[in-house]
Amino acid sequence: MKTARTLLIVLALTVSAGMILGSEPAPSYSRDIEPLFLAACGNCHGAERPKKGLDLSAGRGRAALVGVASRSEPQFVLVKAGDPDGSYLWKKLEHATAKGKGMPRTLFGASKLPADQLAVIRAWIAAGAPE
């Protein structure tokens, strides 16, 4: 009986340690989001004449997004840290905004980012949009 209880405790501690040590860190803007935005959004939202004034060029994107009101719908914040569904950017990426078009845009119209990239962006916003 004592051996079984000891084994259960050891198993529980091992599983807990594995969950803690094996867990991935929250996405960060500089490591995970900026490279994605540079590749998918940089043509229109780069340093030279960024559309809608939204400059997502290297080192500028996070400050241009987090806590900043949308130019097209000023009642909404582009990225509301901790609240993906309350973030205008998320609505644009999901193509779920009534005004304007979904993002990103291509030569052939709006095109959603792949699901894995959207999941990283959503996790970043949900985690508080860390640098």
Q: Is the pLDDT of residue 78 over 90?
A: yes
Cα 116 to Cα 1, 61, 87, 102, 121: the distances in Å are: 47, 20, 19, 17, 9
The string of pLDDT tens digits covering residues 88-104 is: 999 999 999 767 788 99
- Whose tokens are 């009101």? That residue is 69
CA distance 51 to 49: 6
pLDDT at residue 98, rounded to an integer? 67
C-beta separation of 122 from 90 below 8 A:
yes
Task: Specify the range with the lowest mean pLDDT, choosing from 13-17, 36-40, 95-99.
Answer: 13-17
